[in-house]
Amino acid sequence: MNQCTEHYTRVGDVTLCWFEWGAAHAAQGTTLLVHATGFHARCWDQTIAHLPSRHVIALDMRGHGRSDNQGPISWDTFGDDLVGFIETLDLRGLVGAGHSMGGHCLVHAAARLPDRFERLLLIDPVIMDPASYENRAAAHTSFLDAAGLHPVAKRRNHFINAEAMFANFVGRGSFAVWDEAVLHDYCEYGLVPNPDGEGFVLGCPPNVEAAIYMGSSDGNIYAELDRVTMPVVILRARREEGDRTKMDFSLSPTFPGLASLMPNARDVYLPELTHFIPMQAPALTAEYLRGER
């Protein structure tokens, strides 16, 4: 894998951290990777390992990783940050890949900057059934406890080191299907020094992650889909039919008819995989990024 370099760029009211592999060259353009809620740029490392000699940029969205943890934390703000990032770096000839919330942000950016993108890979994007946005009721409201707290807001936020974080997650719940190298990357780069004392805390604080989930029903971008005219591949993981009655992040949140609402999109259903496609199958993700599938 190419050597990775770390950068910081001011975009509007926030400083964003981003990582770069390789050098830009006209023959291939740039691959731009946008992570999911609660994750960070380095969760893509194992996918990037299968993209030798390519110029790759992956960024930490606000409230995640090493970027500023500054509000507002909203889906529109994330999308606007991505637009500003692309414009600030004057990125062109992009092959964009976004996972989950990152896929939503990528559609937001591509609708506003269509000339900057060659094609998109939307990996189980959080673009839900249109009915989910009609009354703007938060999709996660039913998961709140009696005190109004989202379960994610109560997740463990302090670890002695990355090894302790890895030991806490390996083999458990949704993490059980992850490639262990990806889990190591998630832990190694997902922690920041604890400002209040010893050890480390999550780069995406639990209250921020919970706020993003609670705001998902505000992220209606259906009016923008017809402006996303470049070729698009949408990967969808296994899906639960009917109303969602439990909080299971392994299931797909993506509207199955999404591809039909975009001018040049193709739907790929992968029921053997969970929502964490890049974490579970980084080599397969890279094949789609290379345009081989």
- Say whether pLDDT at 145 is over 90: no
pLDDT, one tens digit per residue, over 40-79 is 999 999 999 999 989 999 999 999 999 999 888 889 999 9
- Say whether pLDDT at 138 is over 60: no
- Say whether pLDDT at 262 is over 80: yes
Is the overall model pTM greater than 0.85, yes or no? yes
pLDDT, one tens digit per residue, over 154-164 is 889 999 999 99
Cα–Cα distance measured from residue 220 to residue 130, given in angstroms and rounded to the nearest whole number: 8
- C-beta neighbour count of 218 within 10 angstroms: 12
> What pLDDT shows up at residue 29?
86
> What pLDDT shows up at residue 137?
55
Looking at every residue in the chain, the average pLDDT score rounds to: 92
Rounded to an integer, the average pLDDT of 105-114 is 98
The residues near 163 (Cβ < 8 Å, ≥ 6 apart) are: 187
Q: Which residue has the higher pLDDT, 142 or 125?
A: 125
Report all structural domains of the chain as residue ranges with CATH numbers, in order of start: 4-137+218-289 (3.40.50.1820)
Least confident window among 58-67, 176-185, 212-221? 212-221
Rounded to an integer, the average pLDDT of 23-33 is 85
